[in-house]
Amino acid sequence: MRKLAALLLVTLAFAACKFNDAAKPKLPIMGNRDAVTKVVDGKQVTDTIYHTIPDFKFVNQYGDTITQNSLKGDIYVADFFFTTCPSICPIMHRNMLKVYNEFKNLPDFKIISHTIDPKHDSAAVMKKYADKLGISGNSWWLLQGDKEATYNISQDYLVKRPGPDAKEIFMHDGYFVLVDKQKRIRGMYDGTEEKEVSAMIEDIKTLRTEVDTEIAQ
């Protein structure tokens, strides 16, 4: 009898855990949102339009053209840096390496790092940087392209637009921006803080389960 009670207790505990799992809060969806009302089958429905990352066209360290289509079906993290940056970039990429090593074997995860100094950071320079950083394959792309386009897209990622002298005074935001498969921003983390980057690694795991269930439905 006692044994039975114990068994029941254990089962209940497990069930409670399961329940908690399902009720786990999703990550927030960041940025401005709009509500649009449209008529579907004669009924008024209100849809929320979330802020999304627009299409882009850059070149990665292998010289391949990368557009939003290249990230189709991927969760990704974006940041902004330049290869000769002596201030916060080494800290950011020391931390990003942890993210890379955690997820590099997943087919649906990527990291993209935009250079804010495209004049110096050619694809060849970026390839050399990637080699020295110790990254290979296609899970971390270093993107180079039109300076104006890069600075514009930084605002779509909700980070501060680098100033005209961003390179000279080595000032730019050190954020890691987490983007879901629907191109919505789901998290912003200070890439210079080890703790925040650890939190991001956990959030990426959460986001993957969320997206997988959404697809299954």
Partner 1 sequence: MKLKVIAFIAVLLCAIVISCQSEAEQDFKRYYTGGAVIYKEKCQNCHGANGEGLSALIPPLTDTAYLKKNKARLACFIKYGIKETIITINGKAYEGSMPANVDLTSIEIAKLLTYMGNSFGNKMGTIAFEEADADLAKCK
Min. distance of Cβ 92 from ligand HEC in angstroms? 13
CA-based nearest residue to 207, from 103, 100, 51:
103
CA distance 78 to 68: 13
Min. distance of Cβ 85 from ligand HEC in angstroms? 8
With CB under 6 A as the contact rule, the residue among 25, 54, 73, 86 that binds ligand HEC is: 86
CA distance 125 to 195: 30
Instruction: Rule CB under 8 A: say whether 99 interacts with partner 1.
Output: no
Q: Hey, what amino acid is at 132?
A: K
CA distance 186 to 27: 6
What residue 133 binds from ligand HEC, partner 1, none (CB within 5 to 8 A, per partner kind)? partner 1
CA-based nearest residue to 136, from 114, 108, 115, 111:
111
Q: Going by C-beta distance under 8 Å and a sequence separation of 6 or more, which residues neighbour residue 188?
A: 30, 158, 159, 175, 176, 177, 178
| CB burial readout 120-150, b (16+ within 10 A) else e | ebbbebbeebbeebebeeebbbbbbbeeeeb
Closer to ligand HEC by Cβ: residue 85 or 143: 85
With CB under 8 A as the contact rule, the residue among 27, 29, 97, 201 that binds partner 1 is: 97
CA distance 160 to 174: 10
Query: What is the x/- site pattern for ligand HEC, positions 91-110, by CB under 6 A?
Result: --------------------
Q: Which residues are annotated as a binding site for Cu cation?
A: 85, 89, 172
Measured in residues, the chain has a length of 217
Binders in 126-155 for partner 1, by CB under 8 A: 129, 131-134
Closer to ligand HEC by Cβ: residue 50 or 170: 170
Q: Which residues are annotated as a binding site?
A: 85, 89, 172
What residue 101 binds from partner 1, ligand HEC, none (CB within 5 to 8 A, per partner kind)? none
Min. distance of Cβ 93 from partner 1 in angstroms? 7
Min. distance of Cβ 90 from ligand HEC in angstroms? 6
Residue range at the interface with partner 1 (CB under 8 A); choices 43-51, 87-95, 152-160, 181-189: 87-95
Q: What residues make contact with ligand HEC under the rule CB under 6 A?
A: 86, 90
Q: What residues make contact with partner 1 under the rule CB under 8 A?
A: 86-88, 90-91, 93-94, 97, 129, 131-134
